[in-house]
Amino acid sequence: MAGAAATGGSARSETYASARNWLLLPSWAVLGIFVLAPVAMMLVYSFLTKEFRGGVIWEFTLSAYDQFFFDRGLFGDEPAKIEWTYILIFWRSIWQAGLATLLALLIGFPTAYFIATRPAQTRTVWVFLITIPYWVNLLIRTVSMKFLLRDQGPLNDFLLATGLIDDPIRIINTNAAVQIGLFYSYLPFMVLPIYASVERYNFALSEAAADLYANKWTTLRRIVIPSVRPGIIAGCILVFVPSLGAFLAPDLLGGAKNFMIGSLIEEQFKGNAGNWPFGAAASMILLTLVLVILMFLARQQARADREATS
């Protein structure tokens, strides 16, 4: 009897296993079609030779990567020199995205904390208000921002009217305009995950800290922030990653001088002037960079979790 039962059990678990594989198929298909295939195409294209009016010639070459990093080519007759143009664009993108993330954190954390500490009914209203801008397309919002910030725009008009300034300040087509655009576009991505964490936070812990002689600032630093750290990390990733690859804000608000990676890549695929392999290579470099940063953060988080449970 026992043997029969065991056989029956294993036969059943095999059935389950095959059913499970079939049921997972849609997920695998979605991942394959929308994630793996495009990335694989990008990877392959980055090693192909460029065709002058866009498109590629199916001939293997490293020239796209070579062009990205080196002047005059790594494989030429003369000694190779590092080409700084694209690396500087990457560097500018990283610090712009980093600064946007920091600003979003500085404004987003108090906002999220404020919302999470409202009474339950009003919380929903605040969250709703945060998401309202998302009902309008990002392009339209960014163009509107351009009008708000320009020399004769409402912001300068207001500042002139209050007498704070005598001449319009030049915001548009500066790094500051790009920064404002990025910060504005992605702030809710910072607020929402932190809000979710703070809402789950046990406020009795803050009371316990106050009871044990900690002032508000120490309580925030030593008790609240460590407790909601997963939300903070999620928010930072959700702001940093899209800011890094953004092209609407730099294009529309930053002008030609404040190029970011997103714009560089976009250019390569536009019209006849493009260079598909170079665009693909720049995308792969960006992807690698993002993955390295995410893996670093994931490892940090895993270590913190291990410490929390061991």
Q: What is the 3-state secondary structure (H, E, C) of the chain?
A: CHHHHHHHHHHHHHHHHHHHHHHHHHHHHHHHHHHHHHHHHHHHHCCCEECCCCCEECCCCCHHHHHHHEECCCCCCCCCEECHHHHHHHHHHHHHHHHHHHHHHHHHHHHHHHHHCCCHHHHHHHHHHHHHHHHCCHHHHHHHHHHHHCCCCHHHHHHHHCCCCCCCCCCCCCHHHHHHHHHHHHHHHHHHHHHHHHHHCCCHHHHHHHHCCCCHHHHHHHHHHHHCHHHHHHHHHHHHHHHHHCCHHHHHHHCHHHCCHHHHHHHHCCCCCCCHHHHHHHHHHHHHHHHHHHHHHHHHHHHHHHHHHC
Interface region with other proteins, contact rule CB under 8 A, candidates 112-120, 184-192, 221-229, 260-268? 221-229
Nearer to other proteins, 228 or 261 (CB): 228
Is residue 215 part of the contact set for other proteins (CB under 8 A)? yes
Nearer to other proteins, 25 or 120 (CB): 120
Is residue 210 part of the contact set for other proteins (CB under 8 A)? yes
Please tell me the count of residues contacting other proteins according to CB under 8 A.
Answer: 20
CB of 2 to other proteins, least distance (A): 37
Interface region with other proteins, contact rule CB under 8 A, candidates 71-79, 111-119, 249-257, 302-310? 302-310
Is residue 55 part of the contact set for other proteins (CB under 8 A)? no
Is residue 223 part of the contact set for other proteins (CB under 8 A)? yes
Out of 214, 220, 290, 297, the only residue in the binding site for other proteins (CB under 8 A) is 214
Interface region with other proteins, contact rule CB under 8 A, candidates 219-227, 243-251, 264-272, 292-300? 219-227
Site string for other proteins, 162-201 (x = CB under 8 A): ----------------------------------------
Q: How far is CA 160 from CA 93, 144, 150, 156, 224, in A?
A: 32, 20, 13, 6, 42
Is residue 209 part of the contact set for other proteins (CB under 8 A)? yes
CB of 206 to other proteins, least distance (A): 9
Is residue 122 part of the contact set for other proteins (CB under 8 A)? no
Site string for other proteins, 85-114 (x = CB under 8 A): ------------------------------
Interface region with other proteins, contact rule CB under 8 A, candidates 46-54, 65-73, 121-129, 212-220? 212-220
Burial class for 97, CB neighbours closer than 10 Å (0-12, 13-18, 19+):
buried
CB of 114 to other proteins, least distance (A): 20
**Structure token digits, residue 189:** 């991505």
Is residue 226 part of the contact set for other proteins (CB under 8 A)? yes
Nearer to other proteins, 201 or 269 (CB): 201
φ, ψ of residue 50 in degrees (nearest 5): -80, 145
CB of 237 to other proteins, least distance (A): 21
CB of 243 to other proteins, least distance (A): 29
d(CA 255, CA 291): 29
Nearer to other proteins, 232 or 253 (CB): 232
**Structure token digits, residue 161:** 């009217």
Binding site for other proteins (CB under 8 A): 202, 204-205, 207-215, 218, 222-223, 226-227, 308-310
